[in-house]
Every structure is written in structure tokens, then in C-alpha cells.
Structure 1
């Protein structure tokens, strides 16, 4: 399945946005999983604890979609910060800021946001678990699947 924006656009520009996010996040996950490059420190434990707190907030079925997306962006940026690579973290921040508009537009067109948010959360929890276990390959696989699934929401769920 190709990357699709809120209007069902599978243009090269839309494909690049999804590809950039996947490339940046998977590289950050691989780096974060490498114990020699990212040792166990108090800072790492704090970041993982904060990521867990964000997911716990996002588990609230009454959480408005806009709040969910703000927390979602924080979660992904926080995980990329584990890499210790300021360039990857800056790129992730830029990608998230550039895409939030069409993400919100897509969500506004979905029939059942609660089903979508539950699926996204299932993805998020698995990604966090892989990162905590330092399973970079699994985290990369899960991130790619998550980005592909999320990017296809416009084509699948519009009214």
C-alpha cells in the first residue's frame, strides 16, 4: 500500500513525506537500540518513562483527537531523541510539524476515531516495548508498519 494523504493523494510529494518519516524514525530507533552508542543512563530512563506517560494519557478514550495528535507527535519526537542525534531529532520535529495539518484533516473525516486511536495505541505500545528491549530491528519494522498504516488512513476512512 502506498503512502496517502487526507485527500487520497499518492503523489511523489506525499510518498516522500512518509518515506522521510520512516527513514528518520527507523534510523533513530536503530541508534537508540545500540547500547554502545546509547548506554543506559538516568536520562534514557527518564525519556522512556515520559514516553510511557504519554501513551498512558493517549489510552484515555475520552481524549480529544487534537490532544491525541499533540501527544502522538511528542511521543515520536521523544523516541527519536533517544538516539542522541540532534540532527535526527530536529528532522523528526520538522516532519511532525509539517504533517500535523493533514493528519488533523484526515482524522476529521474518519468514521470511527475510537477504533483508529486504539489501533494507533497498539502500535505505539509495541514500538515502545521494542525500544525498551533494545530490539532495534523490531522497532524499525513496527515503525515502518505504523507509518504505512497511518499514512493510508485518508484512503481507507474518509466519509
Structure 2
């Protein structure tokens, strides 16, 4: 279960039991992390996704408006997100690739060099170097890396959209590995490209990073034998 799902399931249960209500404030990050047995970063991620879905509203400052306010039922909002996620698994590859290109090139061009998401992206690249568990593990980390880059732009809605697409991206890239000539050759190239993209973002070279991301995404599909304008799924 993903982090935002852990938080949303707990919130649904609290609302159903009457312990929380629309308009109530969520407990603090530390309290929720201890109760749910997840990290504070995971609580923060879950809260951010719920905010993008309109389930909570994060207040600032002090006084009556401080804290995170519950504004909706996650069951309804996440049902729509789930439908998007399930549907995306059956979309033509060209549609998902074009969506990724639109989202990801914009995100790296507008990414904040100080975003904590970039530290997570760098850690994922280190994990790829340490673990040689075949295409499945590599491509799961690859999808998470691209989500982290998207989150670095600071747009919570786009971050949530990329998060919803994460599983589908990992699934269909895994399927496309059957068309690759030699996986080890491809994975080594992807590692180099990941490092170059991250370096461009951290170095404040947004336009260059966008160019690298475009070549990176399209190059994988060309190498797997699928042109992005194909109707294959």
C-alpha cells in the first residue's frame, strides 16, 4: 500500500468512527507517523497527495487557521484517482508517453534546486547502482525517480498525477524490456542519462534538463522497438 493510501485509509476510518469530522484538524506529523508506523516523510507525502485531491487543506501560521484541515472524504476523491490509475494501464503507449513528456519536461525546467525531492532522486540513483535485481527492481526505482523529479517543481497536482501514473509507468516499461536487444546495455545507458538529468536540474539548467528528459524517455521506446506515435499498448 502506498504512503498516501495508508494515510487515507486511516482518515476514512477516523471519519467513519466519528473521531474526526469534516472541519477537524489532522494530528501532527509525529503523532500520525507513530500511530501509523510510517515515517514523518511518508505522512507528509500522504498529506500532500490528499491536499492535491481536495481532501485536506494545509493552513499556515498560528491561530484558528493553523494546521491541516479536513475538507472532504478521501473515499470519494481517491476513487477518482484510482479510476485514473487503472484506466492509465490500458491507454495506448503513445498517450502515456506524450503525457509524460508534457509533464516531465515542464517539471525539470521549473524544478527548485533546493527541493528535498532531489535528495530522494539522488538516493534512488544510488540504490540503482547498488542493487542489480534485474529490470523489475530497476524500473520500479526508475519510476520513483521520475516522480521525485516531478515533485521538485513544487506543483502538488502534477506531483499527484505523476504519483498516480507511477505504477503504470513501471508496468509497461517492464513489458517493453522484451523488445530490448541487451538489458544490461540499456540499463547502463539509463543510469548515465539519469545522472545527467539530475545534474542539470541541480545546476539550474532547466532547459537543458528538459531536453535530456525528452531524449531519455523517447530513446527508451525507440530502443524497445516502439515508436511513440504507435498505437501499441
Length-normalised TM-score, structure 1: 0.76
2:62 matched residue in structure 1: none
**Structure 1, residues 98-128: CA drift from partner, whole Å, max 9, x if none?**
2322211121443421101001111100000
2:219 matched residue in structure 1: 149
Gaps of 5+ in 1: 1-11, 33-37
Could you tell me how far apart the structure 1 residues matched to 2:125 and 2:143 are? 11
Higher helix share: 1
1:96 matched residue in structure 2: 166
Contact 1:123 1:146 in 2 (8 A): yes
1:68 matched residue in structure 2: 138
1:27 matched residue in structure 2: 106
Query: Aligned match of 2:194 in 124, 127, 140?
Result: 124
Cα pair distance change 1:76/1:39, threshold 3 Å:
closer
Cα pair distance change 1:28/1:117, threshold 3 Å:
same
2:3 matched residue in structure 1: none
Relative contact order (C-alpha < 8 Å, sep 6+): which is higher?
1
- Aligned-residue CA RMSD (Å): 2.1
1:113 aligns with 2:113: no
Could you tell me how far apart the structure 2 residues matched to 1:91 and 1:109 are? 28
Could you tell me how far apart the structure 2 residues matched to 1:100 and 1:53 are? 18
Length-normalised TM-score, structure 2: 0.54
Gaps of 5+ in 2: 1-90, 227-233
Runs of 4+ in 1 over 6 A off after TM superposition: none
1:84 partner SS: coil
